[in-house]
Amino acid sequence: MDSTKKVGNTSDDDGFLLRMGLNDNKAGMQGLDKEKINKIIMEATKGSRFYENELKKDQQVNQRIEKMMQLKDKMTSQQLLKAQLQADKLALELEESRDLSCTIVHIDMDAFYAAVEMRDNPELKEKPIAVGSMSMLSTSNYHARRFGVRAAMPGFIAKRLCPHLTIVPLNFKKYEEVSKEVREILAEYDPSFMPIGLDEAYLNITEYLEERQNWPEDKRSYFIKRENIAKNGKQDITAPDELKLNEDAHSSSPILFEDNTSITEEQPVATSHLYTEEQRDQFTQLLNSVVFGTSAEEVVKEIRFRIEQKTGLTASAGIAPNMTLAKMCSDQNKPNGQFRISPDRQSVMDFIKDLPIRKVPGIGKVTEKMLKALGILTCTELYQQRALLSLLFSETSWHNFLDVSLGLGSTDLEKYGERKSMSTERTFSEINTAEEQYSLCQELCRDLAQDLQKEGLKGKTVTLKLKNVNFEVKTRASTVLSAVSTEEEIFAVAKDMLRTEIDGVAPHPLRLRLMGIRVSGFLNEEEKKYQQRSIINFLKPGKPANASLLQPGKSSHEHFTKASETSHRESFFDKKRAARQQSNQELLINKPANKQNSHDIKSSVNPMEETNNAIGSENLNECHSLTCPVCFEEQRESDLEALNRHIDKCLNGTLLKDNAEISTSKNSWENAYHFSPDSKKKIFEMCQKNKMNKAVDTAQSTKVADNSTSSSTEAFHKVVANTSKEREHSLLSETASNMCLEQNFSSKIISLENAEHFEKSECTQETQPSYSSGAIRDNVLVCPICNVEQKTTDLSLFNRHVDVCLNKGIIQELTEQIVCPVKSQIMENSKSVGEYLRHQYMNSTTGTKRYDRSPQACMYLYLKVKLANYSVL
């Protein structure tokens, strides 16, 4: 508390009271004055754990300010001058790019929840009410606000401020319905308007306005529905009160009815004897309709009019050349008013001039306090101090400050849109048993998973948030290698973090009052395409829908079907094959003419369908059984656990030898392409065993381009493991290390991959009889895998390229296949697999910096998530 005195003239209590929303001194005569309100709040709040924590937070802010002031004092005039030049340069650029051509509208429903409750229960209309609970209020009506009752205030404090306060519980369903009604209206003016929460929205009516200029009057006329209002609100609605349409005195054009069609209720309506009944009806109708003009103000009045007609609720609005200004405008004349900033620079600057910085969206209580310490209270001062600010704040911050002080802002509603994280959290009375905490955690994961799935999102970072009974907040985040979206996946990560937190304070229990879960780091479109296949997919290629039957009731079922719906899991080979087929078709049509086009590997062919045709039909009889990926024996077991036991056995029996071999090799890079003779033999045998003879023939045909291999075993080897020492410093070295991983990991899985690959190659044989004929086009060698024309005529170079391509594909697929159902086996191999995963991880997504982890950690994180979906553990 005392430490604050150091910082200029800001006082300690300011921060706290500000938080309570009492500094705007709006307390009217019927309510309480500011002083009284503060006193009551203090009494109610003092000594509570909450209050203690607030004081602590205030002190932290004060320390920040202190640091900032020290930094300021150290600044040299030299630095300041330089900063001034820089800031001015940017200001000039910004000024030049100023765009006043858009008309942006911000609509804000007045005291939304409270207004809905009042509308639906007339008894509340004259009373001070708030919506929420004894522990927290969401909003209050204007009557209650006079007593200092605000949103985000606990109900029990509000009760002390205003003992007559009626607290209505939240009815979210209802608010959503009303919100929908409002949105229907808004959509007519801007189909791509942007809603913010339930009670706010931005519209860009630029285009609409232009169109409206030519509209006839009747298209801008609205009939006043009296019954509607009578039904919704009170029975006694008086004319001027009912639509405060003429009360927009603040607006620069106070005339509502530009065309002078305005008719007031003061005029005698049906009383005259001079009219026939018919004429009277017409007259009445005319009296009961309004016509809106074509200006922006008129349009917004029309919108507000229609909202009130439809819902019985009022809205405030702001009109300006950008979103930031529009938002500040809507605040200007609330409730039930509107304000416009004309689209010229002077009007904008006039508006900005004396505006307190706190009114600016994005500047909250902390930033306000920091700026205040620098003597900045208004936007003008914000501009004047631009050089100083550029040295004390982050780039994004001071750029934003400069924008604000120049009255600039975004006009693009779209880009404001896409979400970056999603979370859920819950407050409760103290929970201190681990058991309850875990189940709560799981519940949160379940809720969040549902929300995520609604929007089809998957994220890589899971954050656990904990607040203890002293209001201290802690967050723990963990980023995993594959994106999560199901309850199980999220919980697998969250549970671990929760456990370490619980263990951290043991033997004391965690005394929690809040827990939250968040998922962020969403996959972009590119990454979505490469989502891992589930183990079931792996075991039953091409039949995802049936596979889900194998795990009835499991939630991975959901996850799995959803995933296969939302994104076609195009494998590397699927893609290449599709591309190849297409380009073959092109070739047939275009003769050898369009060589350039054939380089395009993008394809509209649906690879999923193809896979179904090619592999699904062959596997049709296997639909209700699983094939062991190790021994290739069909397994009769209907449940995964039994199958896993089998796979365990298989791996134990056959894999040990391979592992032993590899662990002896010191330099994995040199040995990268080396398969033990045993392995090779096994791989080949397996291929044969699985009736892949034809496929191997295909491989054999690669020979044509090489004409040095003779046996099919060697042909196979050629494709899979062509050795070449000088490759270390290129992409190939990657591949090399990956190959090493494959070896270490499980040659069985690779062999399956190859088998699959060849199977697919076989499918393409009809259109492309063999590699030899497919490979040589117009006397140019074309890689049968990537379909890209090769510059070289040297066959061995060409072969090397094909190798690389093939390996790349295998690696890509392997990352999907790496999910082995036997955890212990994988953990044994975690070093090399982990190295691979680490490499993938470090190089994934767009050049952002990555946190380096050990291979083991990568492996573990990866598995933790993947295994959560299976009944292995």
Partner DNA sequence: CGGATCGAC
Partner DNA sequence: CTATGTCGATCCG
Among 425, 618, 697, 706, which residue sits at the site for DNA (rule: CB under 7 A)? 425
513 binds DNA (CB under 7 A): yes
624 binds DNA (CB under 7 A): no
Closest CB 107 distance from DNA, rounded Å: 11
Closer Cβ to DNA, 276 or 848, answer by number: 848
Residue 642 or 842 having the CB closest to DNA: 842
* DSSP symbol at 788: P
Query: Minimum CB separation from DNA for residue 300, in Å?
Result: 18
Q: Does 327 bind DNA (CB under 7 A)?
A: yes
Which CB sits closer to DNA, 109 or 229? 109
Query: Is residue 155 involved in binding DNA (CB under 7 A)?
Result: yes
Report d(CA 606, CA 856) in Å as an integer.
Answer: 37
CB of 313 to DNA, least distance (A): 14
18, 40, 55, 61: which one binds DNA (CB under 7 A): 61
Q: Is 196 in the site for DNA (CB under 7 A)?
A: yes
Q: Is 514 in the site for DNA (CB under 7 A)?
A: yes
Phi-psi region of 152 (alpha: psi -120 to 50; beta: other; left: phi over 0): left
C-beta closer to DNA: residue 517 or 741: 517
Binding residues with DNA: total (CB under 7 A): 67
Q: In whole angstroms, how close is the CB of 414 to DNA at the nearest point?
A: 13
β 166-168/129-132 pair status: parallel
> To the nearest 10°, the Cα dihedral for 351, 353, 354, 355?
60
- Kindly tell me which residue out of 135, 246, 272, 585 binds DNA, with binding defined by CB under 7 A: 135
Q: Looking at beta carbons only, is 525 or 851 nearer to DNA?
A: 851
* Helix H or strand E segment including 459: strand 459-468
Quick check: 410 binds DNA (CB under 7 A)?
no
User: Under rule CB under 7 A, which residues in 455-484 are in contact with DNA?
Assistant: 460-461, 463, 473-479
Q: In degrees, to the nearest 5, what angle opens at C-alpha 532 toward C-alphas 603 and 739?
A: 90
Cβ contacts of 118-127, under 8 Å, gap ≥ 24: 119/232, 119/233, 119/311, 119/312, 119/313, 120/174, 121/168, 122/233, 122/234, 124/166, 124/168, 125/233, 125/234, 127/164, 127/166
Interface with DNA (CB under 7 A), residue from 304, 518, 557, 727: 518
Residue 117 interacts with DNA (CB under 7 A): yes or no: no
CA 696 to chain centre: 46
Kindly report the three-state secondary structure assignment for every residue of 283-323: HHHHHCEEECCCCHHHHHHHHHHHHHHHHCCCEEEEEECCH
Binding mask 351-390 for DNA (x = CB under 7 A): ---------xxxxxxxxx----------------------
Tell me the per-residue interface mask from 641 to 680 with DNA, x by CB under 7 A, - otherwise. Answer: ----------------------------------------
Distance between CA 522 and CA 318 in Å, rounded? 34
H helices, E strands: number in the chain: 38, 19
412 binds DNA (CB under 7 A): no
Q: Based on the shown chain and the rule CB under 7 A, indicate whether residue 156 belongs to the binding site for DNA.
A: yes
Cis amide bond preceding 507, omega within 30: yes
Cβ neighbours around 166 below 10 Å, total: 16
Which two three-digit tokens encode residue 832? 């090399």
Single residue of 420, 591, 666, 729 touching DNA by CB under 7 A: 420
| DSSP label at residue 533 | P
How many other C-beta atoms can be found within 10 angstroms of the C-beta atom of residue 646? 19
At closest approach, how far in Å is the CB of 512 from DNA?
12
587 token code pair: 């070739």
Beta strands, E only, 469-611? 473-484, 512-522
- 202 phi, psi to nearest 5 deg: -110, 140
Q: Which of 25, 394, 524, 621 binds DNA (CB under 7 A)?
A: 394
367/768 with CB nearer DNA: 367
User: Is-cis flag, bond preceding 552, omega within 30?
Assistant: no
Strands (DSSP E) found in 7-164: 104-109, 129-132, 137-140
Binder of DNA out of 228, 261, 423, 625 (CB under 7 A): 423
User: Which lies closer to DNA via its Cβ, residue 420 or residue 666?
Assistant: 420
What letter represents residue 825's amino acid?
A: Q
The nearest distance, CB 14 to DNA, in angstroms, is 13
CB nearer to DNA: pick between 79 and 450: 450
Kindly indicate which of the ranges 45-53, 574-582, 608-616, 730-738 contains the residues binding DNA, using the contact rule CB under 7 A: 45-53
Q: Pick the binder of DNA from 104, 130, 157, 643 (CB under 7 A).
A: 157
Q: Name the residues that contact DNA, by CB under 7 A.
A: 41, 44-45, 48, 50-51, 57, 60-61, 64, 134-136, 151-157, 159, 196-197, 199-200, 327, 360-368, 393-394, 396-397, 419-427, 460-461, 463, 473-479, 513-514, 516, 518, 521, 848-851
